[in-house]
Chain A
Amino acid sequence: MISAERIEEAAYGAMFRAGIEIPEDYEAGLREIAKSETGDLSAFVIEAMLENYEAARQDRRAMCADTGLPRWFVKIGNEARLEGGFIELERRLRRATARATHDIPLRPNRVHPLSRRDHNNNVGINAPEIDYSFEPDANWIDIITVHKGGLFGSDYRMLFPADGIDGIRRFFMDTLIAFGKRGLACQPAIVGIGLGGSKDVCMTLGKHAACLRIVGDRNPDPDVAKLEDELKALGNDIGMGAMGFLGSAMVIDCHIEVGDCHTGGMPMSVHTFCLASRRAVARIHADGRIETRTDPNWFTPYMRRESVEWRQTEPA
């Protein structure tokens, strides 16, 4: 049985690490892309960002004052047992969010959409979001927090099968150009793309692709992986760098997640995970041990399962 106390402790610690420490895969990706950046202003911006990560780590202060929306992704082993069940889990995640907001401090970002009422703790109606997934043959739970920034940089479009890869390229560039100007997307970014699924799942897949996979990771489907490489190169060929200045550093990596969709459509969503690509993971084992990491490892083979698990009878 995993105790509620340990869950809150793990979540509180993950909030600090996410807010303060840039994940190593993103930082390494930024250093890599900086090597080929030719624009002097764009290169200056990247240099300043690398200094900023260092300052955040040294001072133990948030790397970006825009907290974005801190939220939770929880992967639960099928054999895991939680003290107080899921209701207690959610209560602890909300408490960890509020406590860490004050103690780090993070900027309270969550307000009511109409009244703009602010509880000053990043907790409120439907906030923080908590997403769940499951893992067979495991007795641990993974508590993942993502502080997703950016009012700009995401878009959705219903494409059609006839639009093909050209349609995908077009919408990808439309979004990067629109939000890359003046650096509204705070690029270079990890670009996540949802392809297929229902409308809402298409958005979710793209968001997860951006936030829950690490730089350098490729989709196991070779055709999808090829498209990831192609779109990454396309984004870095637009001619735009950090802050929308002339340059080439736009896309640190491109991740695509697919879901089967309506036979008449090809929905697509684009999401950017910004210069403050904040994520942290804590695994709580059945014996209470907490292990920390930055790779969410969200898309397990079980998550991406392709087909039915039983043998289909071939139609006669």
Chain B
Amino acid sequence: MATDGTGLRKLRLAAPVSDEDLKRIRPGDIVYLDGVIYTGREGVYRKVVTEGADPPVDLQGVSNVNFHCSPAAAVQDDGSYRIGAVTATASFRFSHALPTWFEKTGCKMVIGKGGMSPKDYRETFVPVGAVYLTTVGYGTGALLGRGIREVVAAHWIEELGIAQAMWILRVEKFGPLIADSDLAGNSLFESQNAAINERIESLYRGLKLPALRRHGETDDKTEELI
């Protein structure tokens, strides 16, 4: 553990991640990973969660870190893979898939973009002892790409395409990542949003109301908009 001039705490953790390390993580920590992680997003979730297929490998024996990402990768002429940059995709869209995914794979750490809702942390993450880390930027694709040492395997690449395939990656000093949730379900994004929300009302004070309001600002479709 170390801190730099910013006062932010920095952790370097092994993947698969141990229960002990999971306990150390606090919202707002800067985290780097060494070890093995795998990618999985809507294509993989559709097959495993919706269609009931088994994961292409026994993930319990591979890693417990699921990265919501698809790499900028190309299949070389000799059949090997070249990875350029990697960036996460917005995780809130996968809320429905995670309960089954956790149960089937033993996943304990999700890396993605933008965090999940406090409800997801309470109801899905906390019961199984999982935490969420967000990528930074979010465009730090080149830095994260540097952290990838080797493509261990690429599963379902024919069926799902490069972007949606499950990539198993060996990483070194993979980051920076920022911890959003901890084992108790606290969320950095939630606390930051709450602080920002306090100011919002005053920003709009004095601005006259629009001539026409619109659906979407309310779910009540019976409400008069003018």
Residues of A within 8 A of B (CB): 40-41, 43-45, 48-49, 51-53, 55-56, 59, 61-67, 101-109, 111, 118, 120, 149, 151-152, 157-160, 162-164, 166-167, 169-171, 173, 177, 181-184, 186, 237-240, 242-246, 274-276
Contact = CB atoms under 8 A, between A and B. Distances in A.
A57 B150 CA distance: 21
Interface residues of B, number: 54
B86 A65 contact: yes
A63 B200 contact: no
Given A107-B70, A244-B193, A163 B139 contact: no
B121 interface: no
Contact of A109 (B137, B163, B195, B208): B163
Contacts of B138: 64, 183, 186, 243, 275
Nearest to A66: B87
Chain B contact residues: over half helix, strand or loop, or mixed? mixed
Contact of B6 (A43, A160, A167, A237): A43
A65 B196 contact: no
A177 B143 contact: no
B129 interface: no
Contacts of B74: 101-103, 105
Interface string B71-85: 111100000001011
A181 B196 CA distance: 9
B8 A157 contact: no
A55 B146 contact: yes
B72 A245 contact: no
Contact of B141 (A63, A111, A158, A169): A63
Contact of A65 (B136, B141, B189, B200): B141
Nearest to A245: B192
Contact of B161 (A108, A181, A183): A108
A62 B203 contact: no
A63 B139 CA distance: 7
A65 B84 contact: yes
Contacts of A170: 204, 207, 210
Nearest to A102: B74
Nearest to A109: B163
A105 B140 contact: no
Contacts of B161: 108, 111, 118, 120
Query: Which of B28, B145, B192 has the most A CB atoms < 10 Å from its CB?
Result: B192
Nearest to B84: A61
7 contacts: A43-B6, A48-B140, A63-B85, A65-B141, A105-B82, A107-B73, A186-B138
A59 B137 contact: no
A151 B113 CA distance: 13
Nearest to A20: B142
Interface string B108-145: 00000011000000000000000000101111111111
Nearest to A107: B72
Contacts of B144: 65
Contacts of A105: 72-74, 82, 84
Query: Which of A104, A159, A183 has the most B CB atoms < 10 Å from its CB?
Result: A183
Interface in B125-176: 134, 136-146, 161-164, 176
A40 B7 contact: yes
A243 B136 contact: yes
Nearest to A39: B192
Nearest to B43: A116
Nearest to A274: B139
A59 B196 contact: no
B187 to A, nearest CB: 10
A40 B7 CA distance: 8
A65 B134 contact: no
Given A44-B136, A107-B85, A109-B163, 13 more contacts: A49-B139, A59-B142, A59-B146, A63-B141, A65-B85, A65-B86, A105-B72, A157-B214, A159-B210, A163-B210, A173-B203, A275-B138, A275-B139
A246 B195 contact: yes
A62 B85 contact: yes
B65 interface: no
A52 B146 CA distance: 10
B44 interface: no
B69 to A, nearest CB: 7
A61 B210 contact: no
B221 interface: no
A170 B214 CA distance: 14
